[in-house]
Amino acid sequence: MGGRPSVRGALCLGGGGAVCRGTGSGSDQCQGKGGLSTGACRPLTAFPSAALSEVAYAKINLALHVRRRRDDGYHDIESLFAFAEDGDRLHAVTRDDGQLSLTIDGPFGAGLDSGADNLVVRAAHALKNAFNITVGAAIHLNKRLPVASGIGGGSADAAAALRMLARLWAIDRPMHALAATIGSDVPACLVSRTLMGTGRGEALDLCAIDGLGGMPLLLVNPGIGLSTAPVFAGWDRVDRGPLVADTLDALIAEGRNDLYPPAVALVPQIGAVLESLAAQPGVRLARMSGSGATCFALFDDSAQRDAAAAAMPAHWWTLSSRVRA
Ligand SMILES: C[C@@](CO)(OP(=O)(O)O)[C@H](O)COP(=O)(O)OP(=O)(O)OC[C@H]1O[C@@H](n2ccc(N)nc2=O)[C@H](O)[C@@H]1O
Ligand SMILES: Nc1ncnc2c1ncn2[C@@H]1O[C@H](COP(=O)(O)OP(=O)(O)O)[C@@H](O)[C@H]1O
């Protein structure tokens, strides 16, 4: 991990490591899905310190070209994935009764279902069944990333759960195919390094771009959740051409996010976020990530990133981080 991550717009972060603007009462304040409502969450204190841990690194799509709508309803994309150094936190201990359980806290934990539909639980069940594991796991998720925001929070959580449970259950087998059954983004999140993704995003090649690793990165979200499917459905089906991104300059000049027009049609506030980011001194690239609404900016200089974060309106969520090398 590089520089200490900071988060603004969230009232408090459980689990330590970032700026806290909580009440100091000992119980974390939570933000609801895509909004700024608050509610009490369970503190993490009950979870054993000997638990295994994983970071679910926030995903960004440095560029996302949509090429074709397929007969199965998915779209063929070409996307350059990168990851922030920071994200959600997961912890796990074994359960001798063979059961799986999930508890959730953190600034975006309120309202997030911890039942069978949670992507962490889906990933855990899929792994357990695929390898006939008889022991169980108690999993804890510290939810720091906004939900349904184009930075793969759920996919990153699922991938982190796979990495963590593979360690907990001593599984040493490839998990890419299993990850792809959980979501198109989950294989990329499993690797959490800079990758070129094709197909529906699950066909991956490691991608080295000079100067990208360690670059100061700012994520900004206007506090509005946006589901992926309606954004793809709003794509105008015009193929605007392949993604060629072998250098940072090419990525900046030639890369696009083809999901920006349908996303901004659904959530106009994304336009204001992108405009504000692009206007900040020192920005090398400002673009929307995934299906939105989160936008990101890359900087050469961390002081300029921090000044940009400070210039964002207080009701927008921000995360100051770096690109994971
Ligand atoms: C758009 C991207 C870009 O990285 O990220 P997010 O904005 O979700 O973070 C991904 O393609 C999202 O991947 P993921 O979130 O795993 O999506 P999935 O669960 O597989 O699919 C959710 C829905 O999105 C649409 N979908 C997804 C991927 C794809 N290549 N084509 C699609 O049309 C489909 O309507 C599908 O039913
Ligand atoms: N652990 C999880 N974290 C976030 N979202 C989750 C999780 N499990 C299930 N979901 C659901 O997955 C959907 C996509 O969430 P998320 O992955 O955060 O967004 P995106 O795909 O836009 O990056 C949301 O509707 C959310 O309810």
Model confidence pLDDT, tens digit, residues 131-164: 999 999 999 999 999 999 999 999 999 999 999 9
- Give, using CA atoms, the residue closest to atom 30 of ligand 1: 200
Rounded CA separation 19/5 (Å): 8
pTM: 0.89
Which residue type is seen at 37?
S
- Give, using CA atoms, the residue closest to atom 19 of ligand 1: 183
Model confidence pLDDT, tens digit, residues 52-86: 999 999 999 999 999 999 999 999 999 999 999 99
Cβ 60 vs Cβ 151: under 8 Å: yes
Q: Is 47 in the pocket of ligand 1 (CB under 6 A)?
A: no
How far, in Å, is the centroid of ligand 2 from the Cα of 155?
A: 7
**Average pLDDT of every residue of the chain:** 88
How far, in Å, is the centroid of ligand 1 from the Cα of 228?
A: 6
Average pLDDT over every residue of 288-300: 98
Going from N- to C-terminal start, the domains of the chain cover: 6-322
Rounded CA separation 212/109 (Å): 31
The whole-number pLDDT of residue 316 equals: 98
Proportion of the chain above pLDDT 70, given as a percent: 85
Q: Is 142 in the pocket of ligand 2 (CB under 6 A)?
A: no
Q: Is 228 in the pocket of ligand 1 (CB under 6 A)?
A: yes
Position in ligand 2 atom list of the atom nearest CA 153: 18
Average pLDDT over every residue of 256-281: 98
Rounded CA separation 322/27 (Å): 29
Position in ligand 1 atom list of the atom nearest CA 259: 1
Domain range 6-322, CATH architecture:
2-Layer Sandwich (3.30)
The whole-number pLDDT of residue 49 equals: 65
Distances (CA, A) of 247 to 80, 192, 201, 243, 254: 11, 19, 20, 12, 10
How far, in Å, is the centroid of ligand 2 from the Cα of 6?
A: 22
Query: First CA to last CA across the chain, in angstroms?
Result: 9
Q: Is 118 in the pocket of ligand 2 (CB under 6 A)?
A: yes
Model confidence pLDDT, tens digit, residues 211-259: 999 999 999 999 999 999 999 999 999 999 999 989 999 999 999 999 9
Confidence band, pLDDT 50/70/90 cuts, at residue 320: very high
